[in-house]
Structure 1
Amino acid sequence: MASNDMIVAIAGGSGFIGAAIARRLAHAGHLVRILTRNPDRVRDRFDFPNVDLFRADVTDPSSLRIPLAGAHAIIDTVQFDGYPVENHRRGLTFERIDFGGTNALLDACDDQRIQRFIYVSGAAADAYSPHPGFRAKGNAERSIRNSGLPFTIFRPSLVYGPGDRVLTMFARILKLSPVFVMPGSGQQKLQPVLVNDLAQCVELALGGRGLNGSFEIGGPDPLTFDALIKLMMEVTKRHRAVVHAPAALMNITGAIAESLPHPIFSRDAATFVLADSLCDNSALLAEFGITLTPASIGLRYLAEGS
């Protein structure tokens, strides 16, 4: 089968990353199946050809069989609501969704002829990490490698672009507040990667690149959190005072928030925000040959929506 005639199932396809991948693959001629818990709620996001929506939930293995039947490839982009803040009362945890969900998808592949399993992991994924999110993704990667399926794993730094949650929220704060509260010292380093660059690599993987490989992917230039926010101020032309919230204060706030019925922050989320998220792009560039978008160019969508 020609690489642009594939039936591709995207778990988490209604989310920011999954939807961007779906859009690119559908426009390239692939037949895309969006696996989502609420098809009716997100149907208007997919007003273009070659897309079908299926009601499916990675915590309900029985819901995966039909949407995966006959698929040539599976792309796992699942994140739980409120990510990266776990809600144990609702079962929204890294262990259950990231690790358990990936295993449910792998188990559902048993009777299928899957040509590629693509997993969007994270730059800090590590099966031995004390952080539950990094650990769950690391264990999910290990399950994929041990599955016997042809796979490609991408380990992005912060993914951004039109429709994202994090940088769009920061831009809204810059618009509405005279002060931006910076998590920690602002010296934590990251390499924001434009979602279109990640989607391009996924498309190339479906075409045969990166077989049974794991690839870190980040923007071409490392930035401190401080530098990223200053760049956002330049792009949006909204210059604000910056106040740094000490790490200790963030951890105390997280501990208090964890006791709420619907926590919006946690100590693990504080660790997540305060950690470096750096990537070595050398293997990715050698295998996929793409040009990564500098943040100074990629962030322009924030000016358009300002």
Structure 2
Amino acid sequence: MTASKPERKVIVLGGTGFLGSRVVRELRNQGFAVSIGTRFPERVVRSPGGLDAEVAVARSDLRDAETLKRAFQGASAVVNCIGLYVETRTDSFRDVHVTGARNVAATAATLGVRDLIQISGIAATRDSPSAYVRARAEGEDEVRSAFPAATILRPSAMFSRSGALFGDLDALVRRMPVIPLFGDGSTRLQPVHAGDVAKAVSMTAGGAGHGGVFELGGPDVFTYKEILERLARRAGKRRLLMPVPFGVWWTLASTLSGLSNPPLTPAHVALMQRDNVVGEDAATFSDFGIEPQSAIALGLV
């Protein structure tokens, strides 16, 4: 550990979420002083084996520049892990991924923050039929406009030992005798361990990859159908995998969108309609010297 790392303060927006909590833990392991930025600091719970007692909690709101300024004071790096996957009456995709991301970048630039790390997604594109995916892509442009030296990290679908991608699909395989496929199930995915993404964030906060755009995928590439087949074999289940046209999925997602926590959203459908793999010419984990973990080697699929 270098002598300078403990003197560097990093604030993690969305630091209590699936990726954010792992980013906080990895930064602490590397000796950084860490603060979590959240709208509701009073809801942050500390428990044995949970949030490090030395991690500070600061009130911050993507829509309120003053709270961002106070939260960012003294920070050498800001990590924006905040993501919105279902729109609500008070928050839209644009509010969080475009306007909010721009506010974070502009505030960080004004305060002279050295490193800004924006978490996006490997499939972010402005021509997507999904408002969520389009907002991700537009947000990247807004961040780079306000903070040209920002680092953009685009992880593929993330997994962990405790669940997420493979855990959710495994529960589906164990429960349902007939499993509907997105299209014919041929969409390719390159799942990435959330802990490896956290390592890339930590290295970026330490100055590595400054200002670059990185696509982060694991070493395994599967079709969606292959993942389900592997999980069914592992569970000892015989399952019928039924192709379902994407038009049906879009209709279903639109119908369910009025629910407070829909099991399927247009964003899910859009992401499953295109391959979610690292581009041939993209900067990747190898540029950080990180060897990503294999879901197969971990026995998760």
Task: Tell me the TM-score range normalised by the shorter chain.
Answer: 0.7 to 0.9
What is the letter of the counterpart of residue 28 of structure 2?
Answer: A
Compare 3-12 and 70-79 and name the one that shifted more. 3-12
Q: 1:262 to 1:227 in 2, by over 3 A?
A: closer
Check whether the contact 2:106–2:147 (CA below 8 A) recurs between aligned residues. no
CA deviations over 1:156-214 (Å, ceiling 9, x no partner)? 11011145544332222233333433332211111000011111111111222111110
Count of aligned pairs: 296
Check whether the contact 1:94–1:136 (CA below 8 A) recurs between aligned residues. yes
Q: 1:72 aligns with which of 73, 76, 85?
A: 76
What is the letter of the counterpart of residue 140 of structure 2?
Answer: E
Compare 210-219 and 155-164 and name the one that shifted more. 155-164
Q: Which residue in the other structure is 2:23 paired with?
A: 21
* Residues in 1 aligned to 2:90 and 2:263: alpha-carbon distance in whole angstroms: 15
Task: Give TM-score scaled by structure 1 length.
Answer: 0.86
Deviation at 1:6, TM superposition (A): 1.5
Check whether the contact 2:108–2:116 (CA below 8 A) recurs between aligned residues. no
- Equivalent position SS for 1:29: coil
* Residues in 1 aligned to 2:186 and 2:36: alpha-carbon distance in whole angstroms: 38
Aligned Cα root-mean-square deviation (Å): 2.5
* Matching of residues 238-277 of structure 1 within 5 Å: 240-260=239-259, 263-277=262-276
* Residues in 1 aligned to 2:113 and 2:299: alpha-carbon distance in whole angstroms: 36
Q: Which residue in the other structure is 1:63 paired with?
A: 67
Compare 237-246 and 189-198 and name the one that shifted more. 237-246
Deviation at 1:72, TM superposition (A): 0.8
- Equivalent position SS for 2:118: strand
Q: 1:47 to 1:241 in 2, by over 3 A?
A: same
Unpaired segments of 5 or more residues in structure 2? none
What is the letter of the counterpart of residue 55 of structure 1?
Answer: R
* Residues in 1 aligned to 2:259 and 2:182: alpha-carbon distance in whole angstroms: 21
* Residues in 2 aligned to 1:31 and 1:192: alpha-carbon distance in whole angstroms: 30
- Equivalent position SS for 1:109: helix
* Residues in 1 aligned to 2:164 and 2:15: alpha-carbon distance in whole angstroms: 15
CA deviations over 1:217-240 (Å, ceiling 9, x no partner)? 111132101112233335555554
Unpaired segments of 5 or more residues in structure 1? none
Check whether the contact 1:8–1:72 (CA below 8 A) recurs between aligned residues. yes
State the identity %: 26
Q: Which residue in the other structure is 1:135 paired with?
A: 134
Q: 1:28 to 1:168 in 2, by over 3 A?
A: same
